[in-house]
């Protein structure tokens, strides 16, 4: 009888030990999944923010092009201190590159805004 009781106690201890190991492994796996999920969501948030800023900058460039197509007086454009002015009114800021090329039938303006978005604006005269 004593032997049988000892066998039952050992079996019960083995089950408890195995359950504890299962619990530890489960907590470890859940922790890993949680950490990588947080990292993934952080990366998605950062990429979305960058994409939003880039698209906003592209809209500014499109507005710039539409403004110049409507007001074809290109002599009023001036560039200084990384800002583009039209008749002394601020048109674009954070302009890192500005090239103005005038041809017989069109105007070409190369712009880079915020060191990330570059575009060539071509407007017929």
Residue percentage of the chain with pLDDT more than 90: 25
Answer whether residue 9 shows pLDDT above 80: no
CA distance 27 to 17: 15
Residues 121 and 108: beta-carbon distance below 8 Å: yes
- Whole-model pTM? 0.65
The candidate with the shortest Cα–Cα distance to 97, out of 106, 107, 86, 84, is 84
CA distance 34 to 48: 21
CA distance 9 to 30: 31
For range 19-32, the mean pLDDT: 92
Q: Which pLDDT value is given to residue 2? A: 46
Q: Which pLDDT value is given to residue 7? A: 52
Q: Taking the chain, what is the end-to-end CA distance rounded to the nearest angstrom? A: 107
Residues 110 and 120: beta-carbon distance below 8 Å: yes
pLDDT (tens digit per residue) in 35-81: 999 999 999 999 999 999 989 888 988 888 888 888 878 888 888 88
For range 84-92, the mean pLDDT: 87
């Amino acid at each position: 009888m004593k032997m049988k009781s000892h066998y039952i106690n050992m079996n019960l201890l083995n089950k408890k030990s195995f359950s504890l190991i299962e619990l530890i492994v489960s907590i470890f796996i859940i922790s890993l999944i949680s950490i990588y999920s947080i990292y993934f969501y952080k990366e998605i948030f950062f990429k979305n923010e960058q994409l939003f800023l880039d698209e906003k900058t592209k809209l500014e460039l499109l507005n710039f092009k539409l403004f110049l197509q409507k007001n074809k007086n290109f002599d009023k454009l001036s560039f200084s201190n990384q800002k583009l002015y039209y008749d002394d009114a601020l048109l674009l800021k954070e302009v890192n590159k500005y090239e103005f090329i005038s041809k017989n039938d069109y105007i070409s303006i190369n712009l880079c805004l915020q060191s990330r978005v570059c575009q060539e604006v071509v407007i017929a005269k």
